[in-house]
Structure 1
């Protein structure tokens, strides 16, 4: 069966996202007078870094092949923050509801969410709204919630009524060229894999 995008590359990965954060798309320049100017080239993008635990040689080869193929073909994959697969206030593995975007604030970085009865959102929780991934910056609860702040700003095209996912919220990423790296013990053949990736828009 042909591989289709986005890949489910992280499902079963014997590792963890050691970094998952927003990276600004900016250029800095300094004038002759010594003043630093910053030019924005768009909204910040999510970037991540993953490392596996020490794995057996056969497993290492399987994952090395999968990661290299994704990197060389630049196929997108579903990426999420390993530590935030669920809201902080709702640990465990019970089913979580999907909400919808009730309202958008005038500045595009505040939202109200509905259809999440009994759910409390905490600072640091992640949300997928439309095709974007956002981090919660203010606690929120209720149905619908009051306005609360998120980062980054909502992407153009985001509209009320779109689905809000709070269980393993993901964003499409591609593996950064040349970032797949192995560290193998010559004595045992066991080793680790690491790679970095950037949001794909």
Structure 2
């Protein structure tokens, strides 16, 4: 189930709670018990606050980062050869790629597509050099979930600025250590800490 679907399901549950609270309040309102009325009114107000919180859908960048973290937690890594393995191939196919191809951009498409992006989704260019479009504008103030491109033909999802000249990212098709790849067919999805001097630019996806 995608993040968007999960938020829709939560919203439906909260709406049900709100309807029940309002019904109880209406039933009590006819009785001369002011204290009970106040309690029911407070319950209705609380239910409304809960539904309001879940009606607000996180920004696209937040949803993409959530999905990157979800994928990271699955311990995705290559098996059976370079750029191969069940989950790796699933990510590549999702992005519209050919099994065996480098998949760092495919991973970004995987995260944004599952987050509901209408721009970075299957069919988006699968080359780092072609990721900057009219709807992926460059930004000098990256937010969690923005796309980061490097000076060495690689990309990932920005997590945070560490304040010490480095950033934390989540990336696909990268090694557990080193600059990009371990080069032995054991690459995967990892959280990385990289020098900001390696960043070419950050991209903000509009929709």
- Name the TM tier (shorter chain): under 0.3
More helix by share: 2
Q: Which has the higher contact order (CA 8 A, sep 6+)?
A: 1
Normalising by structure 1, report the TM-score. 0.26
Normalising by structure 2, report the TM-score. 0.26
More strand by share: 1
